[in-house]
């Protein structure tokens, strides 16, 4: 849903679940810097839609920013370690690569190097939630 459409929504009971990246960030400057577009609904209260970690906040939220697939996998894997201080939060590197694997490559003779070349210069929409 576009920000303007969400903003114009007059029904007070309407709940918006944004499947894009528009409402994933509490700090809209992250969205603006990463996606290179001005956020027009900066004052909207939103909740990061990772139910495993934000269940109570989601229940009452009017705008829920849906978490991406790579971020969901990464955050859920690391959250238990972070909760009990078993990981240095400044040292985490998540190496999640799309299009790598037998199903994505096609023919048996194709290499991972070919798939990695496809990633060069890729600016994925779900990279910022890792930061």
Give the three-state DSSP class for 47: strand
Q: State the pLDDT at residue 131.
A: 46
Instruction: Read off the pTM.
Output: 0.63
Q: Which residues of the chain have pLDDT under 50?
A: 130-131
Using only C-alpha atoms, what is the Rg of the chain? Answer: 18
Q: State the pLDDT at residue 120.
A: 58
Q: State the pLDDT at residue 70.
A: 83
Active site residue 69: yes
Q: State the pLDDT at residue 111.
A: 55
Which residue among the candidates 17, 33, 69, 73 is catalytic per the annotation?
69
Per 3-state DSSP, the chain is made up of helix, strand and coil in percentages (nearest 5) of 40, 5, 55
Q: State the pLDDT at residue 94.
A: 85
Q: State the pLDDT at residue 78.
A: 93
């Amino acid at each position: 849903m576009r920000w303007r459409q969400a903003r114009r929504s007059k029904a007070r009971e309407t709940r918006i679940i944004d499947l894009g990246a528009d409402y994933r960030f509490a700090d809209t400057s992250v969205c603006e810097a990463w996606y290179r577009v001005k956020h027009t609904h900066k004052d909207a209260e939103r909740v990061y839609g990772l139910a495993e970690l934000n269940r109570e906040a989601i229940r009452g939220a009017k705008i829920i920013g849906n978490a991406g697939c790579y971020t969901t996998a990464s955050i859920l894997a690391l959250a238990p370690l972070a909760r009990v201080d078993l990981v240095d939060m400044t040292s985490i590197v998540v190496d999640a690569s799309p299009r790598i694997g037998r199903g994505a490559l096609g023919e048996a003779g194709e290499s991972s190097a070919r798939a990695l070349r496809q990633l060069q210069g890729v600016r994925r929409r779900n990279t910022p939630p890792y930061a």
